[in-house]
A and B are shown apart, each in its own frame.
Chain A
């Protein structure tokens, strides 16, 4: 198979991580790449190999890093530098105990909405906990437990929201990529089936087939109720 079966319906978690790794993040570099103007020009090595020439991201920031001055780079570069002990990653603003507490509060107060976390919050926090555990100001186990809480609250909400599934459409604002990805096969499968049932129920009505209408109305009625617009 040109594309493995398990990848045809949805993305693998690794692929999602790949996407997230292309996002920008702030770092404190521990070394300087900005070139001094008065440099010894006979050093060819410096001229060539110390320059960054990237094709998927702006390389100006990479060529102008100054030690301990914050700059923004792509996450996977940051992770690579971190691995080499050449930078500190600055945790995003939402990934602090305070902000996470606010988000949990929001989730508890709004039963029908999700808190506006970034689309990659679950994956990003997982990556940072793993690769840069020493770069957080808050104790990491507390952050971890808050992320876990958030995830459980939101999962519960999704589970509750399943009863609103219908054959028409659903609105799911602020759902993150990982959450979408794990829901995708289930939700789209069920909604496809609901649509089929709905079509089977509505179809004869359009043709004006009155005989079957008795049994159908109940069926139709329940579906109609479901299709009233719901935003989770």
Chain B
């Protein structure tokens, strides 16, 4: 069983204290139909999750595996959200990160459920036993506080995820035809390559079905389904309302031959605000793109504007306004972030 994007959104909208009926088993299975991606998921979401929270809570299961803490994940999610909101382009979907995030929310909701049940039970017992508790209101409040904060935190995480997904959906709507074009190009290439493969049979070990299409990298399975249905609806509308009354040669919605390209492409040359972060994990020595100037020591990335051949030095820690196309690769490598 796989999850619908609507399901996720509906799930997120739900009150945190309501018992949840999606068993957490569903999440690891959500992408079973996407075996192509298994390579990406080699780090199974469960194994990475066991080690999530601060060690004091689960000393038992953590230990051997590389820990990705929930705190790291959240700050990454915040960055992804900001980047997505600021970039003209659709950025790749963080399959693994999102999966971990959703499982964590699920777990936290269950945890809260147990807590609040215990809490009210205990309170009920106390007040039926004796009325002492009524006079002790402030103490009670103290005990409620962590619960309150944890619920508030959950809402905050959900807000970011919701806003992030909505931003992506807006872009999927906008570049619907363009995204489809990417995929068709890829499929065509694949067919061509398959024909080549027939020529020499040695290449059978590497069947093309194992490769990940650009669309699958870019979108989550739910988003792909959304994109497909949105596209067919849009096409239907255009056909029914206008196109079928037009001459045959004018009916194509993806006409690129005429003077104006009919496919809406992201404006890759749009100016964006960036902050240069430097290589992830501060690996200054191993980044081949990083250049160094001495006196005083300054690390910077150098990019070139193609038309004017003008070099721009992006110094670490500084804020710039530059064209998106020039920094896209740095952005994908997490060396800069958008503001």
Contacts and interface: CB of A to CB of B under 8 A. Distances in A.
22 contacts: A15-B163, A18-B159, A19-B78, A22-B156, A31-B142, A45-B118, A46-B143, A54-B153, A55-B74, A56-B70, A57-B153, A60-B56, A76-B156, A170-B320, A171-B318, A172-B273, A172-B319, A172-B320, A180-B319, A188-B272, A192-B269, A192-B270
A52 B322 contact: no
Given A2-B167, A44-B118, A187-B321, 5 more contacts: A44-B122, A49-B119, A49-B144, A172-B320, A184-B273
A80 interface: yes
- Return the 6 tightest CB-CB contacts between A and B, nearest first: A3-B170, A2-B169, A56-B74, A188-B271, A45-B122, A191-B271
A195 B269 contact: yes
A173 B53 CA distance: 36
A77 B167 CA distance: 27
B74 A195 contact: no
B22 interface: no
Interface of A: 1-3, 7-8, 11, 15, 18-19, 22, 31, 33, 44-46, 48-60, 62-63, 76-77, 80-81, 84, 86, 168-175, 177, 180, 184, 187-188, 191-192, 195, 198-199, 202, 206, 227
B21 interface: no
B146 A177 contact: no
B71 A173 contact: no
A197 to B, nearest CB: 13
B234 interface: no
Nearest to B339: A180
A189 to B, nearest CB: 9
Contacts of B169: 2-3
Give the size range of B's interface with the partner. 35 or more
Interface string B236-265: 000000000000000000000000000000
B231 to A, nearest CB: 15
Given A2-B166, A184-B273, A175 B319 contact: yes
A62 B157 contact: no
Nearest to B148: A80
B323 interface: yes
Contacts of A60: 54, 56
Contact of B153 (A48, A50, A55): A55
